[in-house]
Amino acid sequence: MAKGYIEGSEDAVDIYEVFSIYRGSAQKFYAWHRGAVFSQYNAILRPYLEYKRLYDGISKKYSWNTVISHLPKTLNPLQYLSRYLPSHAVERVLALPHKSRQQLDEIIRLLDMDEFCDEALRGKAYALFGLEN
């Protein structure tokens, strides 16, 4: 049916525009659908979402612990910020005093790790920044 329409069309069919319009419509529908589902099934979904948040946070904690534990102590961690943070967040971090506790605490916050970064992990991060715990 679509192939016949395209072949029979006298004007060129702008596939990019067609898919852009479709994508916008699909995104609006899924945004509405997600809101409707969350409204109707909030009591059921809330515990799942909390457990997922905790699982994701603990997973990130152990992942960052592994990464930080295996980095060379001479590495400049600030050069890798753009891999993990958007440019506006990198600018916020770099606006703080260089390799300071404020800078590291802001990175932890921006990575959404403040709740899951325990003292041992924070100590490793401070050591990476050349700070005493």
Whether 28 is covered by a domain: the verdict is yes
Whether 83 is covered by a domain: the verdict is yes
Do the beta carbons of residue 84 and residue 111 sit within 8 Å? yes
Whether 9 is covered by a domain: the verdict is yes
- Helix, strand, coil percentages (3-state) for the chain, rounded to 5, are 75, 0, 25
Whether 105 is covered by a domain: the verdict is yes
Q: What angle do CA 85, 94, 57 make, to 5 degrees?
A: 35
- Lowest model confidence (mean pLDDT) among 4-8, 18-22, 41-45, 74-78: 4-8
Whether 68 is covered by a domain: the verdict is yes
Q: Say yes or no to pLDDT of 106 above 70.
A: yes
Higher pLDDT, 74 or 85: 85
Q: Say yes or no to pLDDT of 133 above 70.
A: no
Whether 21 is covered by a domain: the verdict is yes
Whether 95 is covered by a domain: the verdict is yes
**What's the pTM?**
0.69
What does the CA dihedral 55, 50, 119, 124 come to, rounded to 10 degrees? Answer: 40
Average pLDDT over residues 57-64: 96
Domain hosting 70: range is: 2-128
Whether 133 is covered by a domain: the verdict is no
For the chain, how many structural domains are there in total? Answer: 1
